[in-house]
Amino acid sequence: MDTSKGQSKLESFKESFINILIGYFTALISQLIIFPWFDIEISLAENLLIGLYFTLISLVRGYLIRRYFNKKLTKENLIKEKNYK
């Protein structure tokens, strides 16, 4: 991949989505184990819904952070290329 162009928006989304999907199942399993320790008794459906809300928030957060750093990296690479010419 040409580093001056950086990562495409679709690639950023795919990376964030896979990361968040893995995080969702990790969090869900953690909730099922940890919530009872704190006397939090909720149904599996409620656990799934809570996880979904946090997953959507995390997906947007991860995508925006990735795009920010990708844009920053792209600008830095363009400046370096310009200085070397």
Q: How far apart are CA 53 and CA 39, in angstroms?
A: 22
Residues 69, 14: contact at Cβ < 8 Å? no
pLDDT of residue 78: 66
pTM: 0.59
DSSP, collapsed to helix, strand or coil, labels residue 76 as helix
pLDDT of residue 4: 53
Tell whether 70 is covered by a domain: yes
Tell whether 4 is covered by a domain: no
pLDDT averaged over the chain? 82
Total of domains in the chain? 1
Angle between helix 9-34 and 44-84 (nearest 10):
150
Distance of CA 67 to the CA centre of its chain: 11
Could you tell me the residue range of the domain that residue 77 belongs to? 9-84
